[in-house]
Amino acid sequence: MSSTQEKPEELDRIQKRVNKILEARLESDKDTLDALSGLSTFFTENTLQNRRNLRSQIEHRSVGINENFLKAFRQVKLSLDAVCEDLDTMATSVETMKSDLETSKALTKDLIKQTNTMQRERDRLEVHKQIAQAFLARFQLSGAEHQLLYGAAKDAPIVADFFRVLDRVQSIHADCRLLMQCGYQTAAIDIMEEMTLHQEGALERLYRWTQNHCRSLENNEIGPLIVEAMSRLQDRPVLFKYVIDEYAIARRAVLVRQFIEALTEGGPGGNPKPIELHAHDPKRYIGDMFAWLHQSIPTEKENLSLLFKKCDKQDISDQLQNALGYIADGVCHPLKVRVETILQAEKDTIVLFTISNLLRFYQQIMRQVVQGGSLEECLVELQKSSEQIYLGALAAQVRSVLQRPSGGSGLALEPPQRDLVPPPSVARLLNMLKEILSVATMVDGRQADITKIVSCVIDPLLQSVQESAAHLPTVDMGVYLLNCLHHMQSSLAVYEYMDERVERLQAQSDAQLDTLTSEQASSLVANLNLGPIYAILQSNQSKIETNLLKIFMSKMDAFLELPDVLLLPQVQLIMSSSHRAAVQKRSFNVIVAIYKQIYERVHDPANGFEQPEQLLHRTPEQVAHILTST
């Protein structure tokens, strides 16, 4: 594109253009660069033709490009149409889905609401579950506990945990009251009912176990479990009583067997020796039997106390005594048979009395251990029986002594002898009585025994003495009776409980002393010739013949010198010196009294006695002094 000749204006314009191109910074105009780069692909030569075709070529190229583009775009359009169609379909679907969703949403609104409700319910129920579990743990038995209560197998033994569970049952039952107060009446009642059933079942099982255990208490294994069992069974008085009865039955059999063994076999291998080895010695034999019982029965009592150690809900002492009485009952028969055999065979009154004392002693001492029951009755009965037997033996012995050797039917002593001393039979009976009374005794009730024994001997003896004295003259009878009474009194006075008897004997003695005093005084009056004078004194006459007084005083003087010469010979036979002195003194006092009256009469000037001092030269005091000093 060069020209040979150009105008200056054209050169300037070309230069402007070049400058403009150079200043255009083409390297930084990407579009231009790209265009140029594209142009270079088909504008290979810079010819006029090429330049003239450039526009059409460019336009042609542009049309081609556009056609390609259009062709490609057609594809795009088709795809896009498909997509658009799909989109429309999707829009339709979405619309459908949307409406479905709206429908579903409407339908499931309740469901969701319900779900939420149920979720909250679940949470609440979870809490309830925990509460229920806690409740069950508190108000129900666990499986293990249930098994402990009822036993894993039939006849399973009771163990200590049984009582823990039983406590739990009772605790739950008690806690139900709280439930009641909180308003859960139905639950509380149901649980209480259930616990009651558990308790009944448990106590029933406990009862059977305890009863069986008590039945086989051969060696008295009252362990802690039995003690605890009895404590629980208190709540069921009938079952409690049955168990006690069972125990008592078992122990009763054991006690009887042990007693028989002690009697017949003794200890292991014969040591200690059998009690019956000493059966020939009644005191020893009976004493050993009772000592054995006295040592065994407190052991049974202690065992019962141990059995009841934890029984604190009511007074158990009556049941203990009843059970103990029942246990002790068993020994009554073997004991009674043996004691009665001894009593029937023994003849010695002293031995019989000793046995009776022994029985009374043990009667009292056993009562301290076991009250009521057959054993106490048995002892009372044996004691009465022994008393009857020894009193009977004593009475028979008395009768045999009082019987005449000739075998007459009535009681009679040997006839009194001239010396008026008690006959040998009296001494014999009194010695026998003393032997009995000397038996050492250790029981209350002794006084009643002594009284009976003394009556048994003294009463018939007194009767016999009085009968044998009846035919004697008055003075002899008095002395004889006095001597016999004195012998009785002196024999009895040294023993206890004799006050009444001695007092009665003394009264009888006093009566005889009065009789003898009267007789002696009468004798003195007669011998001193006081009869006529005394008659005058009694008749209140004023005159006493001097002659009578002289005779009297003569005898009186002789009497005062030797007072004893005028004593009745029988009075000398009084055995008791105090009795003799009493008779003498009292009769002399009578004489003194009479003398005093005479003396006063004679010395009264009114009576006109001349020289009374010569008639009665002794004063009454002098006479009294002389007589009392003898």
Partner 1 sequence: MVEPIFEYQFRLILIGDSTVGKSSLLKFFTDGKFAELSDPTVGVDFFARLIEMKDGTQIKLQLWDTAGQERFRSITKSYYRNSVGVLLVYDISNHASFEHIPLWMMEAQRHIEPHRPVFALVGCKLDLINAGGHREVTTEEAQKFAKQHGLHFVETSARSGANVEEAFRMVTQEVYARIRSGEYKAEDGWDGIKSGFSRPNSLDFNLVVAEPEKSSCC
Nearest to 320 by CA among 259, 247, 375: 247
Instruction: Provide, rounded to whole angstroms, the least separation between the CB of residue 122 and partner 1.
Output: 50
Burial 320-355 (b: 16+ CB within 10 A, else e): bbbbbbbbbbbbbeebbebbeebbeebeebbbbbbb
**Nearer residue to partner 1 within complex by CB, 104 or 299:** 299
Output phi, psi for 577, to 5 deg.
-65, -35
* 3-class secondary-structure state, position 183: coil
**Nearer residue to partner 1 within complex by CB, 354 or 587:** 354
Residue with tokens 């823990």: 164
Instruction: Provide, rounded to whole angstroms, the least separation between the CB of residue 374 and partner 1.
Output: 22
Instruction: Provide, rounded to whole angstroms, the least separation between the CB of residue 294 and partner 1.
Output: 7
Total Cβ atoms within 10 A of residue 88:
10
User: Are 281 and 322 in contact, with CB atoms under 8 Å apart?
Assistant: no
Give the integer Cα–Cα distance in Å for 288 and 457.
31
User: Are 386 and 452 in contact, with CB atoms under 8 Å apart?
Assistant: no
**Nearer residue to partner 1 within complex by CB, 293 or 398:** 293
DSSP secondary structure string for all residues of 491-521: HHTTSTT-HHHHHHHHHHHHHHHHHHHHHHH
Instruction: Provide, rounded to whole angstroms, the least separation between the CB of residue 477 and partner 1.
Output: 42
**Nearer residue to partner 1 within complex by CB, 369 or 624:** 369
**Nearer residue to partner 1 within complex by CB, 296 or 520:** 296
DSSP for residue 408:
-
**Nearer residue to partner 1 within complex by CB, 144 or 159:** 159
Residue with tokens 């230069």: 15
**Nearer residue to partner 1 within complex by CB, 157 or 415:** 157
Give the integer Cα–Cα distance in Å for 207 and 211.
6
Instruction: Provide, rounded to whole angstroms, the least separation between the CB of residue 273 and partner 1.
Output: 9
Residue type, 373: G
**Nearer residue to partner 1 within complex by CB, 286 or 479:** 286
Instruction: Provide, rounded to whole angstroms, the least separation between the CB of residue 262 and partner 1.
Output: 8
Footprint of partner 1 (CB under 8 A)? 155, 157, 160, 209, 212-213, 216, 218-225, 258, 261-262, 265, 267-268, 271-272, 283-284, 287-288, 290-292, 294-296, 298-299, 302, 306, 309, 358, 361, 365, 369, 440-442
Instruction: Provide, rounded to whole angstroms, the least separation between the CB of residue 347 and partner 1.
Output: 20
Total Cβ atoms within 10 A of residue 175:
16
User: Are 195 and 176 in contact, with CB atoms under 8 Å apart?
Assistant: yes
Task: Tell me the C-alpha to C-alpha distance, in Å, between residue 73 and each of 64, 80, 573.
Answer: 13, 10, 191
Instruction: Provide, rounded to whole angstroms, the least separation between the CB of residue 290 and partner 1.
Output: 7
Instruction: Provide, rounded to whole angstroms, the least separation between the CB of residue 314 and partner 1.
Output: 20
**Nearer residue to partner 1 within complex by CB, 222 or 453:** 222
Residue type, 4: T
User: Are 456 and 395 in contact, with CB atoms under 8 Å apart?
Assistant: yes
Task: Report the C-alpha dihedral over residues 120, 126, 128, 130, rounded to 10 degrees.
Answer: -160
Instruction: Provide, rounded to whole angstroms, the least separation between the CB of residue 332 and partner 1.
Output: 19
Instruction: Provide, rounded to whole angstroms, the least separation between the CB of residue 587 and partner 1.
Output: 47
**Nearer residue to partner 1 within complex by CB, 287 or 478:** 287
* 3-class secondary-structure state, position 43: coil
**Nearer residue to partner 1 within complex by CB, 262 or 343:** 262
Instruction: Provide, rounded to whole angstroms, the least separation between the CB of residue 209 and partner 1.
Output: 7
Give the integer Cα–Cα distance in Å for 475 and 567.
12
Positive or negative: CA dihedral 291, 294, 296, 299: negative
**Nearer residue to partner 1 within complex by CB, 62 or 258:** 258
**Nearer residue to partner 1 within complex by CB, 328 or 477:** 328
Nearest to 436 by CA among 497, 501, 349: 349
Output phi, psi for 411, to 5 deg.
-70, 135
Burial 412-435 (b: 16+ CB within 10 A, else e): bbeebeeebbbbebbeebbebbee
Instruction: Provide, rounded to whole angstroms, the least separation between the CB of residue 322 and partner 1.
Output: 21
